[in-house]
Structure 1
Amino acid sequence: MAVINRIADFDEDMKGWRRWLHQNPEFGLECHQTAAFVCERLREFGADEIHEQIGVSGVVAIINGQGDGPTIGLRADMDALPMEELTGLNYTSQNQGFMHACGHDGHTTMLMGAARYLAETRNFRGRVALIFQPAEENFGGAKHMCDEGMMDCFDISEVYALHTMPGVELGRFFTTPGPMMAAVDTLRVTVTGVGGHAAYPHECVDPIPAMVAMVQALQTIVSRNLRPLDELVVSVTEIHAGSADNIVPESGWFGATIRSFTPEVRKMVETRIREILEGHAASFGVTVDIDYELGYPPMVNTADEVSKAVCAAREISGDARVDDDQGREMGAEDFAYMLEERPGAYLFLGQGDGPGLHHPKFDFNDEASTYGASFFARLIERLNPAL
């Protein structure tokens, strides 16, 4: 039970790839330089097919095994976050205002490491589809790739992914069957009244008291409309109104994030939000414009594929360092779109102590690369063993 020795042999290469990626972060769907770097490595490894510009800048590479068999998809996200890096590292971001603060540089590196090994050994049947995806953080890059027919075009039968997790022991894997990460929806509410001089409030229709009441009332959805055994987050995260202490503003707006796991709860919370906001608008004599946007769906692992992935993880890290029923996370992940089309599993991989995800001092731990690459490689060898 250990990382694959051959993958450990090119640990320094993986470190070099990862740090180049860290220095050159790209945002959203426009990950063209990153994709070019990945494709150059894949050609060096001897990938049999490389397909570019899927979902704008996504890449799918095919490695053929020994003989017929299904095609298994392995996915890594490539995009960075729009934030300033404060690590002070000698490989810090060279693209001002962007940094790899969520470990996607590491995810891409781990999948490239697995690609190199699988292309060398080909100790499996069927095919591997290596999916390098842009825009996980925003814009739903997974959906873009799926909408272009990726799953059918490459005849992918199952799909798997990893995400690094700081604060968890290096090399520890965890996952769960069923819903693992939440659907994420966004709300922006514009409240409009009648502005005027703050000394004459009776001549105005002040939107601020209406907004305050609305924000407070939205909190009753979780406490009074939700079955206590279900999970739901309704968090108002922005409130904007006014420009001076002696002016009643004409309008203001607030924004929120809504996170849930089931279609029933998702529908209920949208319905209640609209009812609450429209009712309060009427009682305060204001108008309300509700922009409710459905975002990523819940990410649902399939039980059989979780079992397969857990077996591979245990070969790498041992039984004691693999948790197959960790529970749910309220974060969201656009890998959900791929799991809507195919069975599969998503796992977290511990990278040890350090700043958390999306922190300006976060850095992927290069020691985790051999664990992740070994997991991907061993998974393929277990799912489709060579005859």
Structure 2
Amino acid sequence: MEKATFDLLKEFRRTLHQNPELSGEEKETAKRVDDFFKQIGPDQTIKNIGRHGLAFVFEGKEKGLTSLYRCELDGLPIVEDNRILHKSNAVGISHLCGHDGHMAIIAGVGMYLKEHRPAKGRVILLFQPAEETGQGAEMVIGDKKFSKIKPDLAFALHNLPGYEKNQIVIKKGAFAAASVGMIIRLKGRNAHASHPESGNSPAEAMSKIIVALQKMPDAMKKFTLITVIHARLGEVAFGTTPGEATMMATLRAYENETRELLVSYSEKLCKQIAKEYGLEISFEYTEAFAATLNHEEAWTFGNEAAKKLKLKTKHIRIPFRWSEDFGQFSIQTKTLLFGLGAGKSQPQLHENNYDFPDEIIPTGVKMFEEIINQIHG
């Protein structure tokens, strides 16, 4: 990559880093991306897809496959703690997952396509909203505009701290876990704290549920994980026994079917405990992520690209436990999500001192360029 191109992408990435927006609120980020692509001149620009999403279409002269390359628009509700000149200007919001870097990479692919249109088929560059909440991919796919650009293949990358810079981390099949946020509410009956026997406190049932849920995966044949992330019992009122309790947990599995089984078993367990204590119980679910499954055909294109570029490649055997809403595209089409090493000493994703390493931008761009050349000539 030429120095002038790299400098432009680096400046764009740092501007995005300084101006993050939360999931579903990426209006200004989308405008910045749109302004950047005006100098590129795609054949078609589709705005407001999945609310604030953007898709840029590059047409080939001959008929062929449609391939899509996706990055994310949104930041996180985390206070950044960094001594960098391009630190976030938004109070309590930051790009601590590297979505700014992913956007810079796809912008770099756009610059490449400006000079090298696909010979056949068409290439879609998608800037997707609301990845962090697990809603964005579903909103994009559910948008009527998506039917015009529905791809035969879809690709994405995620930077991975803990791996050498520019290393490619790749795997066939399950790559990132399916997950869902489970909210459990118990309802009993308040009483005066001097006469707790007159009420029905959910305290003991709540304690049993927390312990039992986290032990549930031990009984499952396939990998599952339940992490209780929040619990609340009653109110701060020393003269009153609690009448309600709320627990929140994240349920994970490597397959969508296993996650659904885990949800079913967890509900049965919680209902059993609630019944034992004469409590009402209800459930709510949020932030559902489908498993990201790498199709063999899409994997082959990515693997060949890494070989041609002579990049150090790590073929992992066990999927990652974290979730990515790119999994929604896995349900729709043949997908590949691969990892791009961000450095062994790089702070982990979502840590408040994380900052995407600019020097891995060219590798991300070149990986997608090579994949495009294989598919579109």
| TM, length-normalised to structure 1 | 0.92
Note closer, same or farther for the CA distance 1:41–1:377 as it changes in structure 2 (3 Å cut). Answer: same
- The structure-2 alpha-carbon separation of the partners of 1:151 and 1:326, relative to structure 1 and needing over 3 Å to count, comes to farther
Pair 1:12-2:7 in alignment: yes
Gaps of 5+ in 1: none
**One-letter code aligned to 1:137:** E
2:201 maps to 1:210? no
Deviations 1:258-314 (A, max 9, x none): 011334422322222222111111211222222245712111110121111111122
Measured against aligned partners, the alpha-carbon deviations of 1:197-254 in whole angstroms (never above 9, x if no partner) come to 3332222212111100121222342112x11xx1101111111114145531111211
- Structure 2 distance, partners of 1:38, 1:124, is 25
The answer to whether the 8 Å contact 2:133/2:287 transfers is no
Distance verdict in 2 for CA 1:137–1:294, change over 3 Å: closer
> Which residue of structure 2 aligns with residue 350 of structure 1?
341
Tell me the distance in 1 between the aligned counterparts of 2:215 and 2:13: 46
Percent identity of paired positions between Structure 1 and Structure 2: 27
Find the counterpart in structure 1 of residue 328 from structure 2. Answer: 337
Is the 1:87–1:360 Cα contact (8 Å) retained in structure 2? yes
Describe the SS at the equivalent of 2:346.
Answer: coil
Structure 2: distance between partners of 1:45 and 1:289: 52
Show the counterpart of 2:308.
315
- 3-state SS of the aligned residue for 1:146? helix
Preserved CA contact (<8 Å) 1:310 1:324: no
Instruction: Could you list the structure 1 runs, at least 4 aligned residues long, displaced by more than 4 angstroms after superposition.
Output: none
The equivalent residue for 1:359 is 351
**CA 264–346 in structure 1, closer or farther in 2 if over 3 Å, else same:** closer
Distance 1:114 1:326, change over 3 A: farther
1:356 aligned partner, one-letter code: Q
**2:175 paired residue among 180, 187, 190:** 180
Alignment check: 8 A CA contact 2:302 2:336 kept: yes
Q: Is the 8 A contact 1:78 1:104 kept in 2?
A: yes
Q: Which moved more, 1:324-333 or 1:32-41?
A: 324-333
Q: State the Cα distance separating 1:374 from its structure 2 match.
A: 1.1
Query: Residue 298 and residue 188 in structure 1: after superposition, are their counterparts in 2 closer, same or farther (change >3 A)?
Result: same
TM-score by length of 2: 0.94
Contact 1:171 1:317 in 2 (8 A): no
**How many pairs are equivalent?**
375
Structure 2 residue 16 is matched with structure 1 residue 24: no
| 2:44 alignment partner, one of 40, 49, 53 | 49
The aligned residue for residue 292 of structure 2 is 299
2:263 maps to 1:270: yes
Does residue 132 of the first structure (1) align with residue 123 of the second (2)?
no
Give the counterpart of 1:144 among 121, 139, 142: 139
- Superposition RMSD on alpha carbons, in Å? 1.7
Q: Hey, what's the Cα distance between the residues in 2 that align with 1:322 and 1:211?
A: 46
Which one is further off, 277-286 or 49-58?
Answer: 277-286
How far apart, in 1, do the equivalents of 2:29 and 2:85 lie?
Answer: 19
- In the alignment, which residue of structure 2 is the partner of 1:281? 274
Q: Which amino acid aligns with 1:306?
A: W
Give the aligned residue type for 1:141.
G
Deviates more, 1:215-224 or 1:158-167: 215-224
